[in-house]
Amino acid sequence: MHKPVVLVIAHGSRDPRHAATVHALVRRVRSLRPGLRVETGFLDFNVPSVQGVLESLAAEGVRDVVALPLLLTRAFHAKADIPAVLRDTPPQLRIRQAEVLGPSPLLLSALERRLYEAGLTPADKASTGVVLASAGSTDPEAIAVIAAIAREWRHTGWCAVRPAFASASLPRTEDAVRELRELGCEKVAVAPYVLAPGFLPDRIARGAAGADVLGEVLGAAHEVAEVLLERADAATARGRLSRTA
C-alpha cells in the first residue's frame, strides 16, 4: 500500500517571511522522514493554493492524502475554512484531515528553547514571568486552550505565565507585560505562540517593548516538525475521511 501524501496547509500572508518560514519547516519535516512525500498549499495570498496542489496530485494518480493544518489552535480555519476547501476537491482523492498542532508538550519545549536562545537561562526561570502571546481568535475554544497552556506552563517552574492576544481577544501583550511587572517578577519574557512572522507577530513584538526578553516565533523548530509528523501519523492510522459521502 502506498503511503499517503502529506499536504501541509498554511494560512498564507502578504508578508514574504511567512511563506519562507513555512517552506523551511516543511524542509525540516522532509529531512526527519525522507521516505514521506510532503507538499505545501496555502489558503490565501501565496501559491500554490491548496486546491491547485490537490488537483495536481490527483492528476499524478495519487489517491490518499493527509491534510495537515499548520495551525496551533482549533478555531475557524480548522473548523470551517479547511474542511470547505477539502470537500471541493477531485473525487478520486481520499483525504484525511489531521488535527491541529497544539496543544503539545513539544511546542512548550520549543517555546522555552526560544526564550533561552533569546538570552534567558534555566537559572532565571523561577524569577521570570512569561507572556504566552498568541495571534488571538473569536473562538472561545481556542482562547480556552491558550489559557490552559499558560496554566500548564506555569507549573514547570516559571514565576508566572499570562496569556495575551494580538487580535480579537484581551489582554494585549503590553498589558500582560505590565501585569507581570506589577506582580513582582524580576524579569518579564514574551514567548510568541505563533508559527511564522507576519502582521500579528509584529504586533506582539511591539507589545513586548517593555519586556526584558522577546523570543523568536516557533518557525522551523525541530519540535514543530516532530509535532507535524505525529499529527500526520495519527491521521493515517485513524483512517477517517474528511470528505462526506
Which residue(s) pair with 213 in the sheet? 189
Residue 232 CA to residue 131 CA, distance in Å, equals: 30
Cα separation of the two ends of the chain: 23
Q: What are 94-129's pLDDT values in tens digits?
A: 999 999 999 999 999 999 999 999 999 999 999 999
**Residue 54: all three cell numbers together:** 490537490
The C-alpha R_g of the chain, in whole angstroms, comes to: 19
Which residue(s) pair with 131 in the sheet? 162, 190
Which one, of 107, 116, 122, 67, lies nearest residue 240 by Cα? 67
Q: What are 52-106's pLDDT values in tens digits?
A: 999 999 999 999 999 999 999 998 778 889 999 999 999 999 999 999 999 999 9
Torsion of CA 117, 119, 124, 127, to 10 degrees: -110
Asked if omega into 48 is within 30° of 0 (cis), the reply is: yes
**How many C-beta atoms surround the C-beta of residue 63 within 10 A?**
15
Which residue(s) pair with 130 in the sheet? 161, 189
Residue 129 CA to residue 182 CA, distance in Å, equals: 11
Write down the pLDDT at residue 39. Answer: 98
What is the pTM (predicted TM-score) of this model? Answer: 0.94
Q: What are 206-225's pLDDT values in tens digits?
A: 999 999 999 999 999 999 99
Residue 188 CA to residue 36 CA, distance in Å, equals: 41
232: pLDDT strictly greater than 60: yes
Write down the pLDDT at residue 1. Answer: 53
Residue 102 CA to residue 74 CA, distance in Å, equals: 8
Query: Which residue carries 493554493 as its cell?
Result: 49
Mean pLDDT of the chain: 95
